[in-house]
Structure 1
Amino acid sequence: MGKRRHSVQTPPGSFFEKLASPDQLLQLLNHLPATYFFAKDLQGRFVHVNQSLLDVLGLHHEADVIGKTDHDLFPPEVADQYRVHDHAVEQTGRALTNHVCAVPDAAGVLRWYVETKIPLVDARGKTIGVAGVMYDLEKAGAMLAPYERLNAAITHITNHYDEKITLEGLAELSHLSVSQFKRVFKQHFRVTPTQYLGRVRINAACTMLRETSLSVEIIAERVGFYDASHFVKQFRVAMRQTPGEFRALNKSASQEP
């Protein structure tokens, strides 16, 4: 009877230490469908994003993101929330799992994702940043079944934010009473339906301010505000600057009328 072979258990760490560069693993993340990956340092600067996330942001090269922070890419109130969660992961050393968050796409429309963040530590065990993976809410599957009842309302807002939208209409689409709809929406998305609609409209306005030379009054009307002064007020609250100031700082090199 031959000798029985015993497999030698190699510590996982020693295998990965043999890799010439961790970039080999990062390249794999560029080929995962509907998976969005990022890593940031303690200052919130992006050190890596995968191609899928670049596509969502409407960017072509990783160099367009590296060294920038959330505040360079997103509205202030959105960026502030991202950093709050980053700091919580960095300070506690614990992962943030299955967190639902909103990310503006290239058109300025908020899309919902399920996100998991983990702390990144160096060889001495010191936290040096965070890494995260996001999955599209619509593609995440059965684990997000509780959100499905709100999908019709979210889709309606996304496609018709420039029209008059009422809580009664959104609640009816969700087969809920108005009070139930408001409660369930806030529970799952951590903002009220009205706040969410406002964010969608402001993000759409940001895109128009950046890419067109339309007047503030016309943009206000096109994104669903029927009073330009109210639009300016809401824009200032959300973006911490006026529409004119935003346009001056973010004017596209190829604006279209």
Structure 2
Amino acid sequence: MSIKKDNKFLHQVAIEQVINMFDLLPGVLFWIKDENHHFIHANQAFIEHQEVKRLSQIVGKSDFDFSPAHVAKQFMRDDDKIISGQSVTDRLEVNMTQTGDTAWYVTSKRPLLSKTGDIIGSYGITRHLQKQAMALSGFEAIKAPVDYIRAHYHNQFSIEQLANVAHLSISALERRFKKYLSKTPKQFINEVRLENARRLLIESNINISQVGDKVGFTDHSYFSKQFRLLFGELPSEFRKNHHKPI
């Protein structure tokens, strides 16, 4: 079948059928937003995650109705980037679980296009990191290094040390991380450190250079650069916008 015929066939498909497929994916939260950051659709897992009973309780609302202000602002900054044509792929981030605890999630987002090719909103999926990994046959191969990173991110350690923890060679460790988390061990370490830095910038009064030190960054300029790449603003800007006085 030619591409032209494929496209003609797809135009006959009711889009609701495709969207509803996301209800069949356990542990995957799926949503669609308009260009004003309002939810226009979400799958059942997302509805349950927000602890509401019906889709109608989500449609028309924004992240500010479901998340702490500093988290909602980060989501909206992401949305602005997506609407400008950028994308987010398998980014590690902290979110809230149904029990109110913090947990690690892996998130991807894309622009939503009209039939004429105009960007009219955004859509995305997020998966609970541990649940995602547990669903994969090789979870035990990365559980040990993932747990080690989460417990020791504030210390200095090499990829070789991490491989030893997992009883793998460095190359095998890197292959496992790419296969199951779609990122290298170094990328995962950096993102864990940066998420913890974001928490400290909000919850503590220690100065920014100390924040970098406490989460494992020995170079302040590198810490600031990586923070900006992940969150879209410098640590000083983030603290100014989101710090909770103690």
**Residue of structure 1 in register with 2:142 after alignment:** 150
How far residue 235 of structure 1 moved from its aligned partner, in angstroms, is: 2.1
Match of 2:95 among 105, 112, 130: 105
Deviation at 1:231, TM superposition (A): 1.9
Contact 1:45-1:66 within 8 A present in 2 as well: no
Q: Aligned match of 1:244 in 228, 236, 245?
A: 236
Q: Counterparts of 1:236 and 1:114 in 2: how far apart (Å)?
A: 18
Residues 232 and 156 of structure 1, relative CA distance in 2, 3 Å threshold: same
Instruction: Return the TM-score normalized by structure 2.
Output: 0.59
Secondary structure (helix, strand or coil) at the match of 2:155 reads coil
The 1-side partners of 2:225 and 2:126 are apart by: 32
Amino acid in structure 1 at the alignment position of 2:73: D
CA distance in 2 between counterparts of 1:231 and 1:140 reads 28
Partner Cα separation in structure 2 for residue 111 and residue 134 of structure 1? 10
Preserved contact between residue 37 and residue 53 of structure 1 (Cα < 8 Å): no
Matches within 5 A, 1:72-221: 72-74=73-75, 102-105=92-95, 111-112=104-105, 136-139=128-131, 143-221=135-213
Q: 1:114 to 1:74 in 2, by over 3 A?
A: closer
- Number of aligned residues: 201
Structure-2 separation of matches of 1:141 and 1:195? 17
SS at match of 1:144: coil
Change (3 A) 1:244 1:136: closer
Structure 2 regions of 5+ residues with no counterpart?
1-22, 52-57, 115-119
Letter in 1 for 2:232: R
CA RMSD of superposed structures (Å)? 4.7
Aligned CA distance change for structure 1 residues 163 and 211 (closer, same or farther; 3 Å): same
Q: Secondary structure at the match of 1:39?
A: strand
Q: 1:41 to 1:67 in 2, by over 3 A?
A: farther
Deviation at 1:198, TM superposition (A): 0.9
SS of the aligned residue for 1:145 comes to coil
Kept in 2, the 8 Å contact 1:75–1:238? The answer is: no
- Please tell me whether the aligned partners of residues 38 and 62 of structure 2 are also in contact (alpha carbons under 8 angstroms): no
Say whether residues 1:226 and 2:218 are aligned partners. Answer: yes
Q: Percent identity?
A: 24
Amino acid at match of 2:182: R
Distance 1:202 1:64 in 2: 22
Cα deviation for residue 132 of structure 1 reads 6.7
Contact map agreement 2:133 2:139 (CA 8 A) in 1: no
Q: CA deviation at 1:239?
A: 2.9
The residue type paired with residue 111 of structure 1 is W
Contact 2:94 2:103 in 1 (8 A): yes
**Gaps in structure 1 of 5+ consecutive residues:** 1-28, 55-60, 87-98, 122-127
- Cα distance in structure 2, aligned partners of 1:227 and 1:45: 36
Q: What residue in structure 2 maps to residue 91 of structure 1?
A: none
Please give the alpha-carbon distance, in whole angstroms, between the structure 1 residues aligned to 2:95 and 2:138.
24
Counterpart contact for 2:64–2:72, Cα < 8 Å: no
Secondary structure, in 3 states, of the residue corresponding to 1:163?
Answer: coil
Deviation string for 1:204-227 (max 9, x for gaps)?
Answer: 111111222210121111111123
Distance 1:157 1:230, change over 3 A: same
**C-alpha separation between the residues in 2 aligned to 1:72 and 1:183?**
34
Distance 1:215 1:130, change over 3 A: closer
Task: Specify the alignment match of 1:65 in structure 2.
Answer: 64
